[in-house]
Amino acid sequence: MKSYSSISGTSGGEWLPSNAGSYRPNIGEVAAPSPAPAPTPTVAAPRGRRGLFAGIISSALVAGAGGALAGGVTTALTLQGRLPTLAIFSTQPQLTGTPTVSTVAGAPLVSTTTLGVSLDLPTLYRQVAPAVVAIQTSSRGGSGGQGSGFMADERGHVITNNHVVQGATRLTVHLLDGTSVPATVVKTDPANDLAVLRADIPAAKRAAVRLGDSDAVQPGETAIAVGSPFGFEHSITSGIVSAVDRAFGGSRRTGPIPGLIQTDTAINPGNSGGPLFNASGAVIGINSMGASPVNGSVGVGFAIPVNAAKRLLAQLPG
């Protein structure tokens, strides 16, 4: 009989670390997962800088924009009596050079059917993609990273993850049509890994998303992510909501982030800060991290509930 799979996370230090291993894309080459170790009664939380594979069921998060790794993340996974090696990654890769801004125009996308209801993904993509942005960061010393975000209103405010922009000295936002504009951080909520940027987006190119109600999200609903996985800007993936109200990540000072939406939609490094949509095109979450035996998606991703972002936006001056 299969045992129930449970995931719990604790931090050995400040969560959302920076430069916890450099991401260097190598298309066509996928790292093989580590073999599953024998069951272990207890696992000590790691300390100090770690790679993406940091021993039994322990790993550091992938890099933010600047600063230093202050601790590791220990995650326990029980599945059929085994304890596999599990990497926990935030979804922002490190850049090793100047990214190429990619756009999508007229590429055919495949529609899917969810529970017998036709989902027109090409139409949904055309509606929401102009509001999604790629975010390039740089910091003192020349290091940089890339994440995702989305336009939250008509004033040029962009929502993303705090770990995408933390420590950055320069931010650049890339739009779907290839336009690049500078941005600055105007508000942060580290406890919920959220940040609001003000970007100099031309008025004619501001296309705000529609914000949904994350309290109404239920397991089994359609979930669609648009972002920049591994630097491939404005990519779309789809799946379902796997669970709601997960508590995961966080820091010793703030504790785990509550109310997370779990999804099997492919969430990879570079998706950080990008939107998770429902079938009607409303944002229900902000993609933030994932759990995987490799530095990529195996169908266990987590999104910050959009209602937390709505509360943060409400704090901005009118």
DSSP for 303-315, written as a single string: EEEHHHHHHHHHT
Query: How many Cβ atoms from other residues are within 10 Å of residue 300's Cβ?
Result: 20
- List, in sequence order, every residue forming a beta bridge with 138; answer none if it has no partner: 144, 170
Cα 19 to Cα 31, 39, 243, 273, distances in angstroms:
19, 30, 30, 17
Token pair belonging to 206: 């501001």
Alpha helices, DSSP H, located in 87-200: 121-128, 162-165
Give the C-alpha separation, 1 to 248, whole Å.
27
Is residue 217 within 8 Å of residue 240, measured between CB atoms? no
SS3 124: helix
Contact 247, 239 (CB under 8 A): no
The answer to whether residues 224 and 262 touch, using CB atoms and an 8 Å cutoff, is no
List C-alpha distances in Å: 152 to 99, 137, 266, 276: 24, 20, 23, 13
Sign of torsion, CA 262 268 273 274?
negative
**Cα–Cα distance, 309 to 305 (Å, whole number):** 7
Residues in the chain: 318
DSSP letter assigned to residue 203: G
Q: What is the CA radius of gyration of the chain?
A: 18
Q: Which residues are catalytic?
A: 163, 193, 272
